[in-house]
Structure 1
Amino acid sequence: MSVTTTTHLNFRGAAREALEHYGSVFGGRTVVVTYKDAGAVTDEAEADRVLWGEVVGENGFHVMAYDVPSRLPHERGANPFFVSVRGDDGAEITALWERLAEDSEIVRPLEPSGWAPLYGMLTDRFGVTWVLDVTAPYAG
């Protein structure tokens, strides 16, 4: 089992454009999952915004991005990224989560989601927001 870290960029309505731009710069495959695709629409005006997206290049480049929903605070340039830790073993991700969660603020508990067998988000005592999840193939 191995885990990787990836920069996860946060936008308000510009994630798709940013991912397409980074894909054109670095090359690679771009995948975009909208709130509508994931069945996670809370505001119809945001249904086509990016819930999860990434660019993965053959050269090793990898960046993820999403559009912060309007119900959550977001200021461009403030909290512009998360550190994403992904793996394929739920037990290992859970063990990492438990250690990171000490003295952290849990944003979303580590639990199954509509897009991953396990997904959780926390902000550690240093102010870094971490997203941990178990990878799952996207069939969209």
Structure 2
Amino acid sequence: MTIQTVTHLNFRGNAQDALTFYHSVFGGDKTCITYKDAHAVTNPDEADQVMWGQVVSADGFRIMACDVPSARPWNAGEIPVFVSVRGDNAEALTRYWEALSEGGAIVQPLGPFSYTPLYGMLKDRFGVTWVLDLAVEYAPG
């Protein structure tokens, strides 16, 4: 058996916008199923919100998201999770960084870091914290 882990982000009414944005950054295929599509509407005002959605790209990027219905508690919290994007192409990581940072806030500027020549942390315009780094073999010491 093989498995893979996928980051799943919870939103309150803007999952569609977030997935559209991540699709514009990473490309690939975007899928969104609304509560109406799934015949699972509990609040008519939320019928067009995302019950299940994802972005999957050929280079391995995958993220899932949904809108938490108003009948359930939800709190975005303060960096309860962050999405890590590791890759071996500094130019591609820099492009992702530039796109994700539009309208967001830089936590750690993209640049050399203790274990890698390229690392950065930012909070995007949807409040999601991202870490991007160049995957290199770790040399302790």
TM-score range, shorter chain: 0.5 to 0.7
One-letter code aligned to 2:27: G
- Relative to 1, partners in 2 of residues 1:80 and 1:31: Cα closer, same or farther, differing over 3 Å? farther
2:76 paired residue number: 76
The answer to whether the aligner puts 1:46 opposite 2:52 as a matched pair is: no
Larger of the two Rg values belongs to structure: 2
Residue ranges of structure 2 left out of the alignment (5+ in a row): 82-141
The answer to whether the aligner puts 1:63 opposite 2:57 as a matched pair is: no
- The one-character-per-residue Cα deviations of 1:64-84 (angstroms, maximum 9, x if unpaired) are 000000001112336866xxx
Structure 1 runs of 4+ aligned residues shifted over 6 Å read none
1:4 paired residue number: 4
SS in 2 for 1:51: strand
Identity of aligned residues (%): 56
One-letter code aligned to 2:6: T
Q: CA deviation at 1:54?
A: 0.1
- The one-character-per-residue Cα deviations of 1:76-134 (angstroms, maximum 9, x if unpaired) are 336866xxxxxxxxxxxxxxxxxxxxxxxxxxxxxxxxxxxxxxxxxxxxxxxxxxxxx
Query: Which whole-Å CA distance do the structure 1 matches of 2:40 and 2:79 have between them?
Result: 22
> Contact conserved, 1:30 with 1:54, CA < 8 A, in 2?
yes
Residue ranges of structure 1 left out of the alignment (5+ in a row): 82-140
One-letter code aligned to 2:21: H
TM-score (norm 2): 0.54
- Relative to 1, partners in 2 of residues 1:34 and 1:79: Cα closer, same or farther, differing over 3 Å? farther
1:36 paired residue number: 36
Q: RCO higher in 1 or 2 (8 Å CA, sep ≥ 6)?
A: 1
Query: Which whole-Å CA distance do the structure 1 matches of 2:41 and 2:61 have between them?
Result: 30
Query: Which whole-Å CA distance do the structure 1 matches of 2:47 and 2:72 have between them?
Result: 15
For these two proteins, the number of residue pairs brought into alignment is: 81
